[in-house]
Amino acid sequence: MKLVILDGYAANPGDIDLAAWNTLCDSTGSSIEIEIHARTSPEELMGRARDAELLLTNKTLLMADALQRLPRLRYIGVLATGYNVVDTDEARHRDIVVTNIPAYSTASVAQVVFAHLLHHTHHVAEHSRAVHDGRWQTADDFCFWDYPLVELAGQTMGIVGLGHTGQATARIAQAMGMHVMAWSGKSAETLAGMGITKAESLEQLFRAADVVSLHCPLTPETRHIIRRETLAWMKPSAILINTGRGPLVCEQDLADALRDGRLHAAGVDVLTEEPPRQGSPLIGLENCSITPHVAWATLQARQRLWQIALGNVQAFLAGRPVNVV
């Protein structure tokens, strides 16, 4: 039996020991052949996947046309939480089990929400740079600041989508003294037990929030949930954070709002095109911080990812698959 990891580099550029994977055996006790590739282009896919019974992918697409040409394939493990890189309908039709990695990066992503938020409320990097440039040494007073400094306590954090990461974000916001409102399918009673106010509509949340943080899945209904119409509901002083999926935001509409002063700031870890080969209207805006899709990528989160991925494969080989999508 052969297992092929199509694009392992992003999740393990060399700082994680994968020796435990060499202990994998099939139902007869025979060792499984493992082949690991840093990246796989569309042109390389069939040559690498043709003989595999088990495939692991992060961002390499496994759509219907590819699955139809892989008759030996029995299992696909997605090295991420989102699994839109796999045609799950075609996989189901072919009795191919597909699993994902749930909740491995919850704490890391929530942490980056506040990294962006604190960047826009205290401008630590800019003020540190000013000190290193000699500004403090020559200041007339004992302190100086170049940007308005904003206290988060007492402000309202609006969270769109209250899954694992949304809840972790809510807990941090509450610890900082913020009120939390959420747009979620959970009942008002459930949210009240978490100290969270349930928004009756997106409009209510957007109008009330000083900070909006996106944690909903990308679906046809949530694509461009941030657009000109919904941005018009938000306070000019508000801050938008997106660590979810790039297409939740219409980037041109957001860029226009930031440039025109209709929104104070934005922090994003994701863009519609990744890498942004064609650019993005958000790149170059001083009031938009952008990180290159790294919220998930702490060492601890990536270690959990590989541990869960190994457990998924072991469970499948034992005939009791888990985390099936």
Q: Which pairs from 258-261 meet CB under 8 Å and 24+ separation?
A: 258/282, 258/285, 258/287, 258/288, 259/285, 261/236
Cα(64)–Cα(4) distance, rounded to whole angstroms? 18
- For residue 56, the surrounding DSSP H or E stretch is strand 54-57
Angle value at C-alpha 107, between 102 and 112, nearest 5 degrees: 115
Q: What is the DSSP string of 93-106?
A: HTT-EEE--TTSSH
The Cα-based distances of 255 to 221, 286, 287, 293 in angstroms read 22, 11, 10, 19
- Residues marked active site are found at 245, 274, 293
Convert 310-322 to b/e letters by CB count within 10 Å (16 or more is b). Answer: bebbbbbbeeebe
DSSP reduced 3-state for 161: coil
The Cα-based distances of 168 to 105, 149, 200, 230 in angstroms read 11, 25, 21, 25
